[in-house]
Structure formats: C-alpha cells, structure tokens
Amino acid sequence: MSYADFHKRSVEQREDFWAEQAQLIEWHKPFEQVCDYSRAPFVRWFPGGETNLCHNAVDRHLKDRADQNALIWVSTEVDQERAYSFRELHAEVQRMAAVLQAQGVKKGDRVLLYMPMIPEAVFAMLACVRLGAIHSVVFGGFASHSLASRIDDAAPVVVVSADAGSRGGKVIPYKPLLDEALRLASHKPAKVLLVDRGLAPMERTEGRDVDYASLREQFIDAEVPVTWVDATHPSYTLYTSGTTGKPKGVQRDTGGYTVALAASLKHIFQGDPGETFLCTSDIGWVVGHSYIVYGPLIGGMATVLYEGLPTVPDAGIWWSLVEKYKATVMFSAPTAIRVLKKHDPALLKKYDLSSLKALFLAGEPLDEPTARWISDGLGCPIIDNYWQTETGWPILSIANGVEKQPSKFGSPGVPTYGYDVKLIDQQTGEELDGPDQKGVVVVQGPLPPGCLQTVWGDDDRFVKTYWQKVPALDGQPERWLYSTFDWGIRDKDGYYFILGRTDDVINVAGHRLGTREIEESICSHAAVAEVAVVGVADQLKGQVAMAFAVLRDASALGDEARLAQIEGEIMKTVDAQLGAVARPARVRFVSVLPKTRSGKLLRRAIQAVCEQRDPGDLTTMEDPAALKQISDLVTVK
C-alpha cells in the first residue's frame, strides 16, 4: 500500500485502522470499542480493553527472548557498563515494584521520580506501570522550585530519587535539591525512596526516607504480578512548559500509548526484535519515555541507557556504542549532532557503523549543514521528525516502514498516519489549502492513540489551551482542532516545514522552556522590578534565553560593576530555582521595557531586535526609546 493510502485510511477508516494496529500488543481482555469520541475533544482509545504497559515491555518477551539484552546501561560518568537481559529486567522490576508496594503504592497513586540516568530509574518507571501507579519523571536538571511545583501538582505518595547525578565528571547532589523542594511544597509525600550511588553524602529524614539497596535485598525473590488496567487508565504524567509559569502535566493513557509505540517501531523506526536501539535523550523528557524506555522494549529490542556527555572520553563515544552493540536504530537531537560536528570528523570513520539502518533526529529544527554533515558521515538515512511532549510520538515523519519515501532537507516530513494535520490562518482560523502558505499547524481531533488524554487534574485547561471548535458549516459536521502552537508551511508535495512557535515557549538545545517561568524566577531577585525573557537564535543550541531587566534602583544602571554582580546573582537564582538548563545566556539591564500602550510586553519585537531583524509594526508601542535601548545593548560595536 502506498503511504498516501495508508495515511488516508488511518484518518478516514480510523476504527479499522487502529483495531489492526492494536493487534501488535497483548491484551488481557479485548477492547469493546476502538475510539470513543463522544465527548470531543476528549478521546478514549480502546475502552473496555485491559492491558499493562510493563507486561508488553517486559513479561511478554520472556517466552522468546528471556536471555537477550533488554537494558544496557553505559555510564562514562562513573565508568560502568551493565547489561540486563529481559529475565533480569523482569526480576529487577518486580523487586522495585515490591519495594514500592511496601511503601504503600497502589493502582492510581502517583510516584514522582527525580533520578539520574541509572537503571533504577527505568526499573521504577516500569514498576509503577506494572502496579497501575502513575509515574511522573522530573528531569534531573531541574532544581528545587521547579521540582516543588511538580510535587504539588502530582501529589505523589512516594518520591524516588538518588544521592546524585554527574555531568562532565562533576557530581551534582540531588538530595539537597529534593529536600529543599519538599520543604517548599505544600504536599508532603509519605516516603522518599533513595538509591545511594555513593557519589554524595545524604541526610535522611527519619520515618520518611528509606534506602533502596536494603529493601531490594528484602524483596530479592519478589514476584509481583502485573495489575491489569483499562486501556484508558493513566500510565504517567510528564510536565511541560506553556505560556504561563505553571507547568502542565501531560497525562498519557495505557492502551493507546502502547499501541502507538508498537506501531511506530514497525512503521517509522523499523526496529526489529532482538536488535538494539540507541536513544541519547534523557528519561526526564518525552523522547526518553517513548524511545529509551517504552518503545524499544515493547518492540522486543535492547535499549541503551547512556549517562554522560556525547564528547567524553571523546566525541566518538556514541559511535563506539553503535559498533559494540550493533545498534540498528539511533535517535538523537540536532544540538547533539552540532556539538559532535565541532570535533574530529575522523571519529565518525573509526567505528563500524554498518548496523545502523537510520538516525532519527527530533526536538528542534534540523539545519541543512548539520543534516548533510551527519548524512555524509553515516551513510544511512537521517530522518527528521517533529513532535511534542503532548503527542508522545511523531506528528510529522517519514514512515519508511510503510513505503520508502524521500526526505527533504529542512522538513520533518509529512503527516504521520493517525494525524489529520492542517494549516490554518492564525487570525481567521480558515484552512490554508494552497502550497507555501504560512499558518499554524493544527491536528483535527480526535488525536491518535498515544497523545495526551488531558492536562493532569485540569480538563478545563486542556480544552482551553489546546482546542478550538469549528462550528458545523456547509454540510460539514462540527470539528475540533488541536493547536501545536507552531508555525509551518507545506510545499506542493505535502512536506511540512516548521517555522517556530506561536507562543512564548523557547527551545534551548532541544529542551522546551517557558519564558514566563524564567521571568518569574528572575523577578524573585530583590533588585529586579520587571523582566522580559526572549529566545534568541543561537548557532549551537538553536535558541538561547536572553533576559532584559528593569532594576528597582534605577541609579545602578550606570554602575557596570554592580550590574555584573546582579547579573551573576540572577544566574545563581535561576540555577537554584529552575536549574542550569533554564539559565539565560545574558541578563542585560534597561530603564524601561518595550510594551504596547495597553501594557503588553513586546517580546517578539525584542526578539527581532536581538536577531538583527525588522521588529515589525510598532505603532502600538508605548515608548519607542525602549526598543532603542535594547538594540544599542545587543548591537556589536
């Protein structure tokens, strides 16, 4: 079947299409319905069906591949490498599940994970879904304020953490950050389960903090059967940034997600059972959830969990892992490839990379020079694909498993099966049919299996944030459109090009950050009266955050030494509250920020000036001198 027909069927004969894909996974009880869209825009996939994510990722493979590798952990931070077969992974997950149960974790409870890239993090994720508990992994690079707001939102029964992570050989103690977050949070989890790696000393709170190692021994022979859950039962929440400072908990189901990942392995990633998948993301991000942990394991593949930098001991480390484990599928981000590109190109030739079928890149725009460099070096297809935390798997891609299609540099491809992608005019909401017209990328509901069910605990926010209703018109029924908040254009061949966000979300090295969160953190510094944070184009990281602040004491403006000191303090504040990942590249000081007469910050105009572009229509600007100050600051003299 041609890809075009495959896609057409996926949206026009949705029920038949997904009922077939659902056969890729194991069900404890068959579903009663494929797609319940009676309460649009909410959709329930495979209701009535019972399954379990952990069963499909682990137990299911015991009969055919118990002794094959399932999880390969490589850490260049602590110089360790450990491989777990499916049988061993099964045992470890049951131990972890028994330990969690002993701490009171039951079906539906939340468990928050604040973990470095260690095997126990994967065990804990799998153990949670085994029990029907809902995990919420918080990226280890976030600090106490970010962590506290997520603890309050998820209200976990247990937090699982470790003494420390490590980055570039530098130990990053997690426990003090966690203790501070628990002090700040209003919700108090009953237990904190700690993995002690022996990297940093930990203080323990009596009665609350428990050690994993001793409990694991206690449950070494534990057998914990999977808890069968309805397909619509939440498997996890994952926080992501939006336009407000309050992070959104993206809530994912069980059955739809398992089916979506199993199907994506077959049609997009083309990974076969018994092969190895190397995904260089972090378990704290959506790519890590879908393609370090669940996707490869559901597909019966071994997955590599890599802790370390891409350049240590040298920039050939990932290629050495491809050679050693004969990885067939690799998934990374454009920033990482840009980093490698700065190193010795001979490293690409040093290893046997012939096992690789394709390299997938996602998370941010892939520029042509980077795509060409890596394509020439690897000699396998480079597949850019576009998605979001919300969707859990690609919206735009090239599904070579269905039909081989050419890629186009700069384009993440065509709509993935299941996604009814459209472009609309931002002002009128009208659909843009013609080629090369710029519009907002939207998906007509229902979203396919695997995408977010709702925003955790806030159905109203889910509908208001993402959806718009198109009333019934000209014989067409009422429709709902999901906004991606990305600008895009589609060429005459149907390939999409993503042109950046329509909202105040920025993308630093593939990490999505809300400018509001950073602004709130900077404003907590006593010297700051007001601040604007914008994303500015950067050659290496795609974008970096730039902050422009107005000080309470205007007289400090002329005092360079004082300004440098405040800038340093602000950086430390952001590091401590949000984590270094959110730290702005620079904080510059101005006497007034550019705003409209109604008081709205002109972030886009600031961004344009920083990127030496035309700031556009400024007729509504209150004080024209405000933008001039910024342009004087950023213009290299």
Where do contacts with ligand AMP occur on this chain (CB under 6 A)?
240, 286, 362-365, 384-389, 412, 484, 486, 498, 501, 507, 512
CB of 509 to ligand AMP, least distance (A): 11
CB of 214 to ligand AMP, least distance (A): 37
Question: Three-state SS for 260?
Answer: helix
Q: Which residues of 325-349 are buried (b: 16+ CB within 10 A; e: fewer)?
A: bebbbbbbbbbbbbbbbeeeeebbe
- The DSSP code for 354 is T
Between 99 and 359, name the residue whose CB sits nearer to ligand AMP.
Answer: 359
CB of 25 to ligand AMP, least distance (A): 24
**Residue holding tokens 């949070």?**
185
Between 212 and 291, name the residue whose CB sits nearer to ligand AMP.
Answer: 291
CA distance 395 to 399: 11
CA atoms lying within 13 Å on the CB side of residue 373: 18
CB of 67 to ligand AMP, least distance (A): 35
| Contact (CB, 8 A) for 444 and 423 | no
| Contact (CB, 8 A) for 181 and 151 | yes
CB of 305 to ligand AMP, least distance (A): 19
CA distance 592 to 548: 9
- Quick one: which H or E segment has residue 595? none
Following DSSP, what letter does each residue of 460-500 receive, concatenated?
A: HHHHHHHEEEE--BTTBPPEEEEEEEEEEEE-TTS-EEEEE
Between 231 and 441, name the residue whose CB sits nearer to ligand AMP.
Answer: 441
CB of 498 to ligand AMP, least distance (A): 4
CB of 241 to ligand AMP, least distance (A): 8
- The DSSP code for 374 is H
CB of 545 to ligand AMP, least distance (A): 15
CB of 253 to ligand AMP, least distance (A): 18
Between 331 and 386, name the residue whose CB sits nearer to ligand AMP.
Answer: 386
- Residue of minimal CB distance from ligand AMP? 512
Between 76 and 397, name the residue whose CB sits nearer to ligand AMP.
Answer: 397
Between 310 and 363, name the residue whose CB sits nearer to ligand AMP.
Answer: 363
Cis peptide before 449 (omega within 30 of 0): no
Between 240 and 573, name the residue whose CB sits nearer to ligand AMP.
Answer: 240
Following DSSP, what letter does each residue of 141-181 receive, concatenated?
A: T--HHHHHHHHHHH--SEEEEESEEEETTEEEE-HHHHHHH
Query: Phi then psi for 581, rounded to 5 degrees?
Result: -60, -25
Between 178 and 333, name the residue whose CB sits nearer to ligand AMP.
Answer: 333
Between 412 and 594, name the residue whose CB sits nearer to ligand AMP.
Answer: 412
